[in-house]
Amino acid sequence: MSDPIVRVAGLEKSYAATTVLAGVDLEVSPGSACWGPTARGRPRS
């Protein structure tokens, strides 16, 4: 198996005193992800 193309370890995110992510680990292997266009520039509905 090859090395991952993306590796995230121990991701944490909070807004003020509210923790929304804690201890998230993720690995993406080559060929396993399908990246699409972002929503940037699209109007909100």
Q: Could you read off the pLDDT tens digit of each residue along the chain, which spans 45 residues? A: 689 988 999 999 999 999 999 999 999 888 886 666 665 655 556
Q: Which residues of 26-41 are buried (b: 16+ CB within 10 A; e: fewer)?
A: eeeeeeeeeeeeeeee
Residue 4 lies in a domain: yes
Q: What is the pLDDT of residue 30?
A: 85
Structural domains of the chain, count: 1
Spatial distance between the Cα atoms of 45 and 42, rounded to a whole number of angstroms: 9
Q: What is the pLDDT of residue 11?
A: 96
Question: Domain range holding 10?
Answer: 1-29
| 4 exposure class (CB count in 10 Å sphere: 0-12, 13-18, 19+) | middle
Q: What is the pLDDT of residue 43?
A: 57
Residue 7 lies in a domain: yes
Residue 40 lies in a domain: no
Residue 44 lies in a domain: no
